[in-house]
Amino acid sequence: MICYFGHTTANGLCRMCVVETKGARGLQPACVTAVRQGAEIQTHSPDVVRARRTILEMLAATVDLSEAPEIQSMLEEYGAKPERFAGGERRQPPMLDDNPVYIRDYAKCVLCWRCVQVCADDAQYAYAINFSGRGFKSSIATFFDKPMPETTCVFCGQCVGVCPTGALKAKREFLIEQGVSLVDVFYETRMRGAGKRSTGGPRLDKGG
Amino acid sequence: MDQSEQHELGFLDPILAEHAAGGRSGLVPVLLRAQSQTGYLTPPMVEAIGRALRVPLSEIHGVIEFYTMLYNQPAGRQVVRVCTSPICDQAGGHAALRAACRHFGTEPGEVTPDGEWMVEESPCLGLCDHAPAALVGETPVGGIDPPSPARWIREPEPIGLGLVGGMARPLSGRCGIIDPADLAGFEAHGGFGGLRRALESLTPAQVIAEIKTAGLSGRGGAAFPTGTKWEMTAGAPGDTRYVVCNADESEPGTFKDRILLEGDPFFVLEGMAIAGYAIGARKGFIYIRGEYPRAQRIVAQAIKVAVENGRLGEGILGMDFAFDIEIRSGAGAYICGEETALFEAIEGKRGFPRLKPPYPTTHGLFGKPTTINNVETLCAAAWIVTFGAEAYRSVGTPDSPGSKLFCLSGDVNRPGVYEVPYGTPLGDLLAMAGGVNGELQAVLLGGAAGAFAGPDHLDLPMSFEGLRAANLPLGSGVVMAINQKRDMRRTLLSLAHFFAHESCGKCYPCQLGTQRQLEVLERVVSGQGRADDLQILQDVGFTMTNASLCGLGMTAGTAVLSAIERWPELLQNGR
């Protein structure tokens, strides 16, 4: 499963949980399908595996999954060959670094909707993010693509917490990965906007 | 916002005052009306709208981005939409698009320096009987001459209703005969007889029984039994129910509902009122696609006349029955023809289809029990209540009773809407439309979401059971003829382009699959095919068909899979 998450409304988006139910047309998404008494369900029939593998291949040929270990292991499990789709269009928008709390690298976004959901009615009621475009060209976006500090974002960080692919990442984590010193990380994420670099405060480079 | 901006936004006040009480449901109407004043939507405009309707700004952004006829970037005050769907394309649609752009010295989507004009490529405009066609502002033009755009852009001559033919025409008989705004003419030809009979002498349950006995099934493509749908809605718990007419006719090759809406608008209003009486609703919505501005004007006028004359509103026909109908305009999204996506659009949201179950009969518009029917279905229902189930069953076949509007387009000599009894052979339909222009190669049945018949299918009875036996869809009644001179691969490419453009992006199989299907066909058509292309198309088609969330995804690969089955060599590498 890719989109399913215990704390957000299930929307049946990724269809990785499809199963085959005797007598039903097509395949059914297990996350949102009620179980019936006496139902005969196959979870790994050839049709189920074919659909799941094709979805994974198409996704991997579209999105940077380098920081999505769960999806990578699914690709392996299903013997997916994304190279079949080589040469196709990928979603590769530039990374957005517009606030001191988190970065948005939508080249890694699988459109699971979790961030939009926690930002809205599933948790925070901040409504800072929604969608741009539609179909293959869909993306997560703010009002008129404004930088995050100009939106209703309250920087609660819940979207970062629920992102399964590293598309949303804490700025600190991102900077540390880039080899930025802890002092500079502190400056970038806590003090930026205060006007000048603090000389007091905790010494992160000496353990706080 | 400073005072000058506030002053400039003054034009919004009357629009917002009219819609504020309705809250979010007024969003798309307000956006369309605001945009009609300025050409496009700016952040201050949208902020004012968001405040008045109490909708979060990010969500309005999402809505604007979803519908292709809403613009958040500068757009021309006049938009020329040139149809490039399969039918118009084979008649010269792309040439017309290029010529129109050359005329203004712009690229598609680029605004002229004076801000006045913009040329856009449009998916099917529903003017297939006038191919190649375009929409110049709100004027539908057809048979356009690609090399001379100055004529059809600067002095657009609106097309007529279109050709309506066939045998005895119970459903389309008044189209082209009466003035669509003339209530007396409508009633002189039997109009409102069904509503009168229902209100005066039938209980709601008897109306439903009549529809069930007639064996009416949905004409929008899914063929769900109409009486059963009404019965389920009537029986669902709750005090508020809705009737919704799906007039978002957007399936490439389908234009029958346009003919009914423009030629006989009171008929569909009568059908909606009868449905309202049968299920216990007092409010109906008719959702007409944004690309049908003329149909919207005609239906709006008919509603006005009907209310003034006691055919809608309070105390209809002097009886104790009230029913109101509100028009909603689409804004450029094929997916909104999917019933639950259509509800979302009326509710002011992105047109994402909902998960089913629950079904509209219990959880429809605004979460209330709703019956949603196609235009032609509602007209047929009105006819049945007027003349009785037995008369309806006297034509057609036992399993597909009644008569049906088919949309003949493409390589036939007289494209148009032809109404014939279900079961009429395909070859007779083609002959009625003046025969095939050239030698027949294939017939696309059911639309973009359809499948191909061949010259060997001319005896095929056009009934549900007849087509099912041949593993072909009846869909919404599309019969698109393709002659031997056409490159079928190009037809498939055009269909694939349509689905990639119209996928909403909600579920992965369709969001990703429509794009991959398009890419494979692009390379096949350009001679860059690969050895495994056929396998890829089959895997993608299988996955979309079986794992997608809604009917759009489930049928986005159907035509391609059908072509592969019929002409396996067509997409082979190197052909």
Residue A2 maps to a domain:
no
Instruction: Give the amino acid at B81.
Output: R
Last residue of a domain, one of A85, A116, A138: A85
Q: What are phi and psi of B482, to 5 degrees?
A: -130, 120
**Measured between CB atoms, which of A27, A62, A132 is closest to B547?**
A27
Q: Are residue A53 and residue A145 in the same domain, yes or no?
A: no
Last residue of a domain, one of A26, A56, A85: A85
d(CA A141, CA A167): 13
d(CA B331, CA B244): 17
Q: Are residue A30 and residue A74 in the same domain, yes or no?
A: yes
Query: Do the chains contact at A18 and B547, CB–CB below 8 Å?
Result: yes
Its pTM stands at 0.96
**Measured between CB atoms, which of A15, A129, A144 is closest to B508?**
A15
Chain A hits for B72, Cβ within 8 Å = 144
B519 touches chain A (CB under 8 A): yes
The strand pair at B478-483 and B403-410 is best described as parallel
Query: Do the chains contact at B57 and A127, CB–CB below 8 Å?
Result: yes
The strand pair at B283-288 and B242-247 is best described as parallel
CATH number at residue A191: 3.30.70.20
Q: Which of residues 83-102 of A touch B (CB under 8 A)?
A: 84-85, 87-89
Provide the domain count of chain A: 2
Residue A74 maps to a domain:
yes
Q: Are residue A55 and residue A25 in the same domain, yes or no?
A: yes
Question: What ipTM did this prediction achieve?
Answer: 0.95
Distance in Å, alpha carbon of A133 to nearest chain B alpha carbon: 5
Q: Which of residues 12-41 of A touch B (CB under 8 A)?
A: 12-16, 18, 26-27, 29, 32, 34
Q: Are residue A116 and residue A190 in the same domain, yes or no?
A: yes
DSSP alpha helix (H) spans, A41-146: 46-60, 69-77, 114-119
Residue A3 maps to a domain:
no
d(CA A141, CA A88): 23
Half-sphere exposure of B295 (CA within 13 A, CB side): 32
Q: Are residue A120 and residue A174 in the same domain, yes or no?
A: yes
Residue A92 maps to a domain:
no
Q: From first to last of its 575 residues, what are the pLDDT tens digits of chain B?
A: 455 555 689 999 999 999 999 999 999 999 999 999 999 999 999 999 999 999 999 999 999 999 999 999 999 999 999 999 999 998 999 999 999 999 999 999 999 999 999 999 999 999 999 999 999 999 999 999 888 898 999 999 999 999 999 988 999 999 999 999 999 999 999 999 999 999 999 999 999 999 999 999 999 999 999 999 999 999 999 999 999 999 999 899 999 999 999 999 999 999 999 999 999 999 999 999 999 999 999 999 999 999 999 999 999 999 999 999 999 999 999 999 999 999 999 999 999 999 999 999 999 999 999 999 999 999 999 999 999 999 999 999 999 999 999 999 999 999 999 999 999 999 999 999 999 999 999 999 999 899 999 999 999 999 999 999 999 999 999 999 999 999 999 999 999 999 999 999 999 999 999 999 999 999 999 999 999 999 999 999 999 999 999 999 999 999 999 999 999 888 875 44
Q: Are residue A109 and residue A194 in the same domain, yes or no?
A: yes
In 3D space, the residue among B478, B482, B571 whose CA is nearest the CA of residue B525 turns out to be B571
Q: Which of residues 69-128 of B touch A (CB under 8 A)?
A: 72
Residue A10 maps to a domain:
no
Q: Which of residues 484-503 of B touch A (CB under 8 A)?
A: 500-503
Residue A96 maps to a domain:
no
Query: Do the chains contact at A26 and B545, CB–CB below 8 Å?
Result: yes
8 Å CB contact between A157 and A133: no
Residue range of the domain that includes A141: 102-206
Query: Do the chains contact at B549 and A13, CB–CB below 8 Å?
Result: yes
Q: Are residue A43 and residue A135 in the same domain, yes or no?
A: no
**Three-state DSSP state, B23:** helix
Q: Are residue A145 and residue A177 in the same domain, yes or no?
A: yes
Long-range contacts of the stretch B72-75 (C-beta < 8 A, 24+)? B72/A144, B72/B40, B72/B41, B72/B42, B72/B46, B73/B40, B74/B39, B74/B40, B74/B111, B74/B115, B75/B39, B75/B40, B75/B111, B75/B118
